[in-house]
Amino acid sequence: MIKSIDPEVCIGCGACVRICPLDTLRAGEDKKAFIAYPDDCMTCFLCERACPSGAIDVDPLREVLPPTFPDVSVELGGGRA
Amino acid sequence: MKNTLKITRVETDLLILGGGSAGLWAAHRFAECMPGRRICIVDKGPRDWGGLMAMAGGDFEAVLPPDTVDDWLEDLVYYFDGLCDQPLMEAILSRSAERMRDYERFGCEFFRTPDGNLRSVPQRGLPHVRLYPARVKGRGGELMAKSLVARLKDAGVTRMGRIMLTDYLARDGRVIGAAGFHCVSGEAYIFHAGAVIAATGMGGWKTSYGKNTPTGEGLRMAFAAGAELQDLEFARVWNMPRLFAWEGQTHLFPLGARFVNRMGENFMSRYSPVLGPNTDPHFTTVGMALEIRAGRGPIIFDVSPLRDEDMVLLKPQTGWQKLNYEKLCGLGLDLFKNNTEWVPQMTVSHGGIRTEIDGSTAVAGLFAAGTARSLEPGVYAGGFALMTTAVTGHMVGETAAAWLRNADAAPAPDEAEAEALLERAFAPLGREGADRLTPKQVLTGIQTAVFPHDVSIVKNGPALERALAEIRRIREEDVPRMAAADPHYLLKLHEVVSVAFVSELFVRASLERKESRAGHFREDFPHPDPAGPAWLLVRHGADGRPVFARERVPLEKWRVPLTRCYQDNFAFVERKAAGNVQDRPS
């Protein structure tokens, strides 16, 4: 999931906003990008790669989904905490 | 609402829904066949991003010498347990080498050995089916998308992004356009077209990286317009890392990787002494699920058998895959050094629009290509989708051009009907009420009902019945309560409406198919039906609701007999000898 966009480093070019497949990012009035819809990020890294100033950090860990095995503990490969 | 909607109207000869591989190829071929005619591609994501192909590795399946189309057809009849539309597959396979050559002509490179020969990786333990890897692992699909978009720009094709189309417009039984909205501006759109191609991808459950955009609106819209669907009982169940995303496992298993259980046992060799771990992910996923259920999880990915000289094919060297890999290494999750846990997970639907070989649907003016039409029954060989989407996209571009040459001009849309559809699509925007739900809440409810292993992977009747009751409740009670705070969430809301539609059909079709075949495993019906393979179609009942119909596969008319089934290689339960094979003619 996308972790952060550093407003001090963002140059407001809009490349990340244009490329995001899930419309997760938007530009503010100052043209700088911000994470408008964090839940929608699919960890594709397109924004981080498109950013010319290195302002974006995407965490590679993916979203936790409802489990395939709700009754088996995580230690045994299931999803029960 | 009607008076406040700002509607933008677009006139075009060809409207293509979806800017992924199939849509781009359809536009490319149509432009070649009918230069100068107007083509408009509309995608709900960004303009020109290339859809799921942009996330793919760029590995391509193609029938190249010394293999023949007949060789591959025999493989696929066996691999699909007979559920193979042989004339369709023959048509697709016959065109696969041309599309691979096109990609090479466009500048996309495939991996070659030092002596200049193409390197191939056999798939799923099949004698002939193989993929040809991209030259550099990491962004092959992205380069394919860019190469196609560059050609469409030269051809003057209009490409539009961030527009979610929710309904087809029809007059006198002919689809003549579509209506929807822009997910940033909230502007309404009406497209009027001579012909319409659905290249909308499959249905799915928004599970990980490349699987978050295919949500099934193409299926829902086509069904509403009168088209038939098929193969809804098949979903791509997959093995994926618990914590992160990984692209390219289809190389890993043929080259020696394997899953092991908590005791370090290579369990797939127990379930399938013949194929072992180098098999289709559907069957691997069933094996993983049975191990976890028996208390032998977690499942660990074991790469120790891989050879150093193959690492060039396996370690990402560029693109998002390289960035992902480097970041994971930084977290101590180096796939090639650390033990990583993998889990069984359902991802996308294999259901699709039923079409003729050339991509025509039962509805005049509406055509389909790529994964919006169903091509494989829940089993999946690496590189298959890049090939089939390219070929069927190319084919449907030709089909739409030929149809349009002889068709009357499309009648104008019924304005009142179009505005009523838009009004309905916009209704959840700003919906008030203390009981309103977000699209995410409803999606989570659907995932919770469908993901459990006894509904999605090792299916059984009582679990499917429970899931069906819950999905029906969600569709009746929760879906109408969804509200969207802005046009972005309105798009997500319409995605969830389609996810719910596909989910109900998935569960119903899974109940209907009382046997195990290809990518559908019923623990309570673990054997194939002795009556032989049949497709499960979804048609309109008298009240417009889905009704299932069975259509026998006419093996007696086709060239390749069903002499063995791929699923016979697996002993997930005690199996009787398969009773559905034909004797090979002497």
B56: closest CA of chain A, how far (Å): 11
pLDDT in tens, B517-558: 999 999 999 999 999 999 999 998 888 889 999 999 999 999
Position B31 in a domain: no
Q: Look at residue A20 in the predicted model and tell me its pLDDT.
A: 96
B567: closest CA of chain A, how far (Å): 23
3-state secondary structure B317-374: CCHHHHHHHHHHHHCCCCCCCCCEEEEEEEEEECCEECCCCCCECCCECEEECHHHEC
Report the DSSP pairing between strands B174-182 and B163-171.
antiparallel
B258-260 sheet: strands from edge to edge = B235-241, B340-349, B299-302, B258-260
Position B280 in a domain: yes
Position B324 in a domain: yes
- pTM of the predicted protein model: 0.95
Q: Look at residue B96 in the predicted model and tell me its pLDDT.
A: 98
CA angle B450, B451, B452 (to 5 degrees): 100
Helix (H) or strand (E) holding B241: strand B235-241
Q: Look at residue B303 in the predicted model and tell me its pLDDT.
A: 87
Name the residue of chain A whose CA is nearest to B45's CA: A21
Q: Structural domain of residue B307, as residue ranges?
A: 248-345
Nearest to B46 among A19, A42, A58 (CB): A19
Position B184 in a domain: no
Q: Which residue has the tokens 């009027």?
A: B192
Position B288 in a domain: yes
Contact B212 A22 (CB under 8 A): yes
pLDDT in tens, B245-300: 887 777 788 888 899 999 999 999 999 999 999 999 999 999 999 999 999 999 99
Name the residue of chain B whose CA is nearest to A15's CA: B46
The answer, yes or no, to whether residue B89 has pLDDT greater than 80, is yes
Q: How many CB atoms are closer than 10 A to CB B560? A: 19
Q: What's the mean pLDDT in B17-28? A: 98
Please tell me the distance from the alpha carbon of residue B145 to that of residue B152, in angstroms, as a whole number. Answer: 11
Please tell me the distance from the alpha carbon of residue B14 to that of residue B410, in angstroms, as a whole number. Answer: 11
User: What residue ranges do the domains of chain A occupy?
Assistant: 2-58
Q: How many CB atoms are closer than 10 A to CB B406? A: 6
Of the pLDDT bands very low, low, confident and very high (cuts 50, 70, 90), residue B3 is: low
Please tell me the distance from the alpha carbon of residue B336 to that of residue B319, in angstroms, as a whole number. Answer: 18
Region of B176 (left: φ > 0; alpha: ψ -120 to 50; beta: rest) is alpha
Contacts of B246 (CB under 8 A, 6+ apart): B240, B324, B335
Q: Which of A17, A5, A45 is nearest to B326 (CA)?
A: A45
Which of B31-35, B62-66, B251-255, B493-497 is least confident? B251-255
Contacts of B299 (CB under 8 A, 6+ apart): A77, B239, B259, B260, B261, B288, B291, B292, B341, B342, B343, B344
Residue B245 has, within 13 A of its CA and on its CB side, a CA count of 28
A8: closest CA of chain B, how far (Å): 23
Q: Look at residue B419 in the predicted model and tell me its pLDDT.
A: 95
CA distances from B68 to B62, B358, B544, B564 (A): 10, 22, 44, 20
Q: Look at residue A71 in the predicted model and tell me its pLDDT.
A: 97
Please tell me the distance from the alpha carbon of residue B216 to that of residue B201, in angstroms, as a whole number. Answer: 7
Q: Per CB distance under 8 Å, which residues of A are interface residues toward B?
A: 18-23, 26, 36-37, 39-40, 42-46, 48-49, 58-63, 65-70, 72, 75-78
ipTM: 0.97
Contact A75 B183 (CB under 8 A): no
Tokens coding B414 = 């019924």
The answer, yes or no, to whether residue B581 has pLDDT greater than 50, is no
* CATH code (residue B268): 3.90.700.10
Position B195 in a domain: no
Q: Which of B42, B46, B53 is nearest to B159 (CA)?
A: B42
Position B158 in a domain: no
Q: Which of B248, B236, B184 is nearest to B211 (CA)?
A: B236
Tally of structural domains, chain B:
1
Q: Look at residue B126 in the predicted model and tell me its pLDDT.
A: 95
Q: Which residues of A touch B491 (CB under 8 A)?
A: 23
Q: Look at residue B574 in the predicted model and tell me its pLDDT.
A: 62
Instruction: For domain A2-58, give the fold.
Output: Alpha-Beta Plaits (3.30.70)
The answer, yes or no, to whether residue B577 has pLDDT greater than 50, is no
Report the DSSP pairing between strands B299-302 and B340-349.
antiparallel
Tokens coding B501 = 């539609």
Q: Which residue has the tokens 């969830």?
A: B496
Q: Which residue has the tokens 């099949």?
A: B126
pLDDT in tens, B466-517: 999 999 999 999 999 999 999 999 999 999 999 999 999 999 999 999 999 9
Average model confidence (pLDDT) for chain B? 94
Using 70 as the pLDDT threshold, list the residues of chain A that sit under it. Answer: none
The answer, yes or no, to whether residue B366 has pLDDT greater than 50, is yes
Position B164 in a domain: no
Q: What's the mean pLDDT in B370-389? A: 95
The answer, yes or no, to whether residue B569 has pLDDT greater than 70, is yes
Contact A68 B291 (CB under 8 A): no
Q: What's the mean pLDDT in B41-48? A: 97
Contact B488 A72 (CB under 8 A): no
Report chain B's C-alpha Rg in angstroms: 23
Tokens coding B137 = 């692992």
